[in-house]
Amino acid sequence: MSVEPERPLPPGQYVPRGWPVLHYGPVPKFRPSTWDFRVFGDTASGEQYRWTWEEFEGLPQTKAVADFHCVTKFTIPDNLWEGISGSALVELAPPHPDVTHVMVWAEYGYSANIRMADFLAEGTMLALYRDGERLTPDHGFPVRLVVPHLYAWKSVKWARGVEYLIQDRRGFWEERGYHNVADPWREQRYSYQEDDGENPPL
């Protein structure tokens, strides 16, 4: 069952009733005493940055209203996200000037790569809340990356770290045939749609 959207959606998308749950693997157990979030890789200082759960939760937060586009063709419109913006995290943990991409890492070694421009884009954040409520475990509690302008496999659930990359590298689904960029308005769903030489090899 779907509902009629109030404005155009990306090609092939529909609005479902509710927010479907999709992910690979089990839902991890949150242990606040041992949880941390790290920024590493090609940092400007060469050092790694680390926050405990208490420290991370206390970082300055922002809000953004944005749609959520899943590659399985549903779109959830007008979500109110609240969390730490990508740009704020980059200010706290500056990258090397040559960094072009980030790899976002999650529990169980899951990962997704995005361009630094996407990580810094308005609305991109490490979200703690949706529509005024804590994320549920099924939807990424305690922290999920939200990149509203890309397909949602880039919006990594259970995020635990950001790796700065000077050279792009494919993440979990990108290694398994998904498109390296994932723009829903261009229906960039699969790697066979990529132009030769523009992305890392499979």
Q: According to the 3-state scheme, what is the secondary structure of the chain?
A: CEECCCCCCCCCCEEECCCCCCCCCCCCCCCCCCCEEEEEECECCCCCEEEEHHHHHCCCCEEEEEEEECCCCEEEEEEEEEEEEHHHHHHHCCECCCCCEEEEEEHHHCEEEEEHHHHCCCCCEEEEEECCEECCHHHCCCCEEECCCCCHHHCCCCEEEEEEECCCCCCCCHHHCECCCCCHHHCCCEHHHCCCCCCCCC
The answer, yes or no, to whether residue 27 has pLDDT greater than 50, is yes
- pTM for the model stands at 0.93
Using one digit for the tens of pLDDT, what is the confidence trace for 115-133? Answer: 999 999 999 999 999 999 9
Specify whether the CB–CB gap between 174 and 189 falls below 8 A.
no
Using one digit for the tens of pLDDT, what is the confidence trace for 142-153? Answer: 999 999 999 999
pLDDT recorded at residue 155: 97
The answer, yes or no, to whether residue 2 has pLDDT greater than 60, is no
Domain ranges of the chain: 39-193
Using one digit for the tens of pLDDT, what is the confidence trace for 73-115? Answer: 999 999 999 999 999 999 999 999 999 999 999 999 999 999 9
Percent of the chain whose predicted confidence (pLDDT) is above 70: 97
**Domain covering 39-193 in this structure, CATH number:** 3.90.420.10
